[in-house]
Amino acid sequence: MPEVKFEVDVDRAPDEQPGAKPFNRWHPDVPAAVEAEVGETIRLEALDWTGGQITDADDPNEVRDVDLTQVHYLAGPVHVEGAEPGDLLKVEFHDMGPLNDRSEFGFTGTFSQQNGGGFLTDHFPTAAKSVWDLSGYTVSSRHIPDVRYEGKIHPGLAGCAPSEELLAEWNEREQELIDKHAADPESIPNHPTGEAEPGVANPPTTEGALMGEMDPDEADAAAEEAARTVPPREHGGNHDIKDLSIGSTVYFPVYVEGAKFALGDFHASQGDGEITFCGAIEMAGYADVEFDLVKNGMAEHGIDHPIFEPGHRGPHFEDYVTFCGYSVTEDGEQRYIDSHTAYRRASLQAIEYLKKFGYSGQQALHILGTVPVEGRQSGVVDVPNACSTLALPKGVFEFDVSPGNLENRADRGDLLVTDEPLQ
């Protein structure tokens, strides 16, 4: 087994970890907690993205009340010897998995519209939760009957620290969007309507910030400008790509000396789009990673975003039921080649379809957020309609889910849903 260079205790809070503290903001000055050489394979462990706020208890209020200023808790930063700005950091994911000896469950949530919201929050405004059993790579949930499959394990979040200049650029452009929304909410086409949270972007905040091993005197000032880990950006970050699984190799742009690589937000499985938002099957986990460098690789390959080569482990599904959506809203408004709307419509078609087999809408939502569904931008040229598709693997169900098989309909109960308001 590779040396565990970042270890977590899942029974303790993030700021009470016995070893190096995790961190939850992007800033070039968060000090490296781990040193690694090129060619060395090391193991990194990470808490689940919320830092243990959501347990395996049958209590959906944990999702409703989650403190989102704290996310995501990351392992690292790793100082890779010899990495310099302009390089590509090659990261080979040799292995990854749940922390089976300490934490054998995963969870999926639907955020309350007042705390988190999400892709389909106008359709699912109420917080809900499902708990998953992790048996090796096979997953099942006591809250979603007749679904059992091999998950597609991956870190939702991985990347290198931004430079001071890049951080300033992120803050400037995201604040512009926030200002634009404040001046004219209607100018942001795909933002959920009404009082829905979250905002269109999350500006820096010291609330909930944990800056790893940074000196407490400096940590507050850094947190005031440090980027939240919510969106993916040029460095990678929270890209939630399900195919970044075991055996894959990722090339991350390097912006600071030593790269300061970090990862976290492990998912036992996820569907393309992570449409549940809270999220995939979330869990604490580990990854065994080996580093190499492509010197000056950003300029030589013309790349300033991550690129990756997927692994081969699978799971591999052969048969799918595929749903189509176009860029026309639920209210019949014609949008111009808008893949976001098209994917939402494809997702809603799949949810209505699964309801006919006896699942609740919330159960169907959690199935689509966690099963390795394939989401595609099938067409982006046929004005005015984009076409997006969502392909649902049939093999994850313990019955035939093809059209014409509604004799397989059964009462399949519901998730843990709360209708109590936020406290």
Residue in this structure with the two tokens 């403190």, named with its chain if needed: 67
Least Å distance, CB 265 to Zn ion, is 4
Least Å distance, CB 154 to Zn ion, is 10
Beta bridge pairs of residue 42: 3, 289
Least Å distance, CB 335 to Zn ion, is 28
Least Å distance, CB 282 to Zn ion, is 5
Stretch that binds Zn ion, among 162-170, 272-280, 352-360, 373-381 (CB under 5 A): 272-280
Stretch that binds Zn ion, among 186-194, 203-211, 257-265, 329-337 (CB under 5 A): 257-265
What whole-number distance in Å separates Cα of residue 334 and Cα of residue 326?
Answer: 9
Decide whether 28 or 236 has the Cβ nearer to Zn ion. 236
Decide whether 166 or 365 has the Cβ nearer to Zn ion. 365
Decide whether 279 or 361 has the Cβ nearer to Zn ion. 279
What whole-number distance in Å separates Cα of residue 331 and Cα of residue 334?
Answer: 9
What whole-number distance in Å separates Cα of residue 357 and Cα of residue 55?
Answer: 29
Decide whether 109 or 258 has the Cβ nearer to Zn ion. 109
Least Å distance, CB 132 to Zn ion, is 13
Total chain residues near Zn ion (CB under 5 A): 5
Instruction: Give the pairing type, strands 25-26 and 320-326.
Output: unpaired
Question: Helix axis angle, 339-355 relative to 361-370, nearest 10°?
Answer: 120
Least Å distance, CB 267 to Zn ion, is 5
Decide whether 241 or 351 has the Cβ nearer to Zn ion. 241
Residue in this structure with the two tokens 């800056």, named with its chain if needed: 211
Least Å distance, CB 156 to Zn ion, is 4
Residue 207: count other Cβ atoms within 10 Å of its Cβ. Answer: 9
Does residue 225 contact residue 204 with C-beta atoms inside 8 Å?
A: yes
Q: Select the residue interacting with Zn ion from 28, 98, 151, 156 (CB under 5 A).
A: 156
Decide whether 174 or 265 has the Cβ nearer to Zn ion. 265
Least Å distance, CB 292 to Zn ion, is 27
Encoded one letter per residue, x for contact with Zn ion by CB under 5 A and - for no contact, window 87-126 reads ----------------------------------------
279 lies in the binding site for Zn ion (CB under 5 A): yes
Stretch that binds Zn ion, among 141-149, 150-158, 205-213, 377-385 (CB under 5 A): 150-158
Beta bridge pairs of residue 159: 236, 262
Encoded one letter per residue, x for contact with Zn ion by CB under 5 A and - for no contact, window 37-66 reads ------------x-----------------
Decide whether 45 or 87 has the Cβ nearer to Zn ion. 45
Contacts of Zn ion in 280-299 (CB under 5 A): 282
Least Å distance, CB 231 to Zn ion, is 13
Stretch that binds Zn ion, among 23-31, 148-156, 207-215, 343-351 (CB under 5 A): 148-156
What residues contact 214, with CB distance under 8 A and at least 6 apart?
A: 23, 29, 30, 31, 222
310-334 b/e (C-beta count within 10 Å ≥ 16 → b): ebeeebebeeebebebbbbeeeeee
What whole-number distance in Å separates Cα of residue 116 and Cα of residue 125?
Answer: 10
Contact residues toward Zn ion (CB under 5 A) are 49, 156, 265, 279, 282
